[in-house]
Structure formats: C-alpha cells, structure tokens
Amino acid sequence: MVANEWFCGEYVRTRSQELTDATLQHVGIVLASVAIGLLVAFPLALLARRWPIVAGPVLSLTTILYTVPSLAMFSLLLPVFGISVSVVITGLVLYSLTVLVRNILAGLASVPEEVREAARGMGYGSVRMLFAVELPMALPALMAGLRITTVSTVSLTTVGAIIGYGGLGNLIYDGMHTFFKAEVFTASVLCVALAIVADLLLLGLQRLLTPWTRKRRRAA
C-alpha cells in the first residue's frame, strides 16, 4: 500500500468490511430505485395507452427528467428530502421512467390485435386480458427496458457519493480526493461487476419467463 499501486491485495484484505458495506449499500439503493421506478412506470404506461392524449405529455416529461444532470437533480431534491438516501433513490427513480415507460408501451403495442380479439371471444375482461395475455407477450420488451434501467442505475448510484449515499461511489470519491489508487480501482471494478451480474441475472429471468422465445429461435 506504500507504493500506491492501482491493485493492492493488502487493501482488499484489510478493508474487506468497508468494501462489503459499500457494496451492500449500492445494491440496496439500486434494488429500491428500480423496484419503485417499475411501480411508478407501469400505471403511467397504462394511462398513456388508455388515453393517447396523455401519452405525449408523459413521454415528454420523462424524457426531460432524463436530460437533467445528476448533480442538478440531486441538488433540486435536497430541499425536499434533506441529506438522506431518499434523495438518491428519488433521483434514480425519475431517471428510470423514460426507459421503463417507453418499453412497457412498446411491449403492449407489440401484442397482435387478433390475440386480443381471441381473448375477448373467450370472455376475457380488460384486467384479465392485461395480466394473462398482454403482459406475458410484452415481457421481452419490458425485460429489455428493465435490464437497461438496472445497469444505468448501478452506474448513476455512484453520483450519490456527493451526499454520502453512493455505495461504492463513496469509495471512488474518497479515493480520488486522497489519490488512493487501489481504493478507486477496487471500487470501480466492483461497480462494473455489479452491473454485469445484474444484467446476467435479469437475462436469465427473462429466458425463464419467456420460454416461447427460445422455441421460436430454434424453429427459425
């Protein structure tokens, strides 16, 4: 550690608890942000589909929110939530909406009309059709949006270090200020690893939930 190398096994060994705590905080913020984002995006997408006049404002607003720089976003939220993890989670939820709402809408729009007609002929109401027919067929697009959102959220969480709630970003921020290369490198590698693992897990979940897509590829 005296040589201040980019990789230092001694740093990983002696700071293992610190690295574990930062990783757990990072994962917790990501999970909360993505879950809340999905809960907010789903009804917004349904409203936009039900009333086309609402679609334009909803999509425009979510796009505008996505263009706000993260530092500005967190600064705007500070007067509301104070210095707390809620600032980071709320900001990340707002960023997630543009991808999630668009992908949910795209997935629902991809359901063939003849499938809907067949479901109506079998006595399906709108709610039952949504959950039993449309959502399963929209899963590929929905999961694609969820994967993009999750990976970007893993990255953006690091910015929360400016208020002390950035997970691994806290270590990156501290390491950059103290020129501690091993701390910056190790935290950065863990952040990238989290994004890769999250994406692979969601890809596996997507394949598990949509077995018909694998059969279609084999047939082709």
- Reduce the secondary structure of 13-68 to three states and give it as a string: HHCHHHHHHHHHHHHHHHHHHHHHHHHHHHHHHHHHHHCHHHHHHHHHHHHHHHHC
Q: Is the dihedral of CA 51, 55, 56, 58 positive or negative?
A: positive
The total number of structural domains that make up the chain? 1
pTM of the model: 0.88
CB 41 within 8 A of CB 58: no
Residue 200: pLDDT band with limits 50, 70, 90: very high
In a domain, 123, yes or no: yes
Residue 86: pLDDT band with limits 50, 70, 90: very high
In a domain, 13, yes or no: yes
Above 50 in pLDDT, residue 1? no
In a domain, 110, yes or no: yes
Find the mean pLDDT for residues 93-112. Answer: 93
**pLDDT tens track for 52-84:** 888 889 999 999 999 999 888 988 899 989 889
In a domain, 22, yes or no: yes
C-alpha pair distances (Å), 197 with each of 22, 31, 147, 154: 17, 13, 11, 11
Residue 5: pLDDT band with limits 50, 70, 90: confident
In a domain, 219, yes or no: no
C-alpha pair distances (Å), 14 with each of 11, 17, 149, 185, 199: 5, 8, 33, 15, 30
Residue 193: pLDDT band with limits 50, 70, 90: very high
Rounded-to-integer distance, Cα 48 and Cα 26, Å: 32
CATH assignment at residue 195: 1.10.3720.10
- C-alpha R_g of the chain: 21
In a domain, 4, yes or no: no
In a domain, 160, yes or no: yes
**pLDDT tens track for 123-165:** 888 888 888 888 888 899 999 999 999 999 999 999 999 898 9
Q: Please, which residues have CB within 8 angstroms of residue 130's CB and are 6 or more apart in sequence? A: 46
In a domain, 15, yes or no: yes
Is residue 18 packed enough to be buried (19+ CB in 10 Å), middle (13-18) or exposed (0-12)? middle
Q: Which domain range does residue 198 map to?
A: 9-213
- When the pLDDT of each residue in the chain is averaged and rounded to a whole number, the result is 88
Residue 3: pLDDT band with limits 50, 70, 90: low
Look at residue 46 in the predicted model and tell me its pLDDT: 92
Q: What share of the chain is helix, strand, coil (3-state, %, to 5)?
A: 85, 0, 15
- Chain CA centroid to CA 175, Å: 26
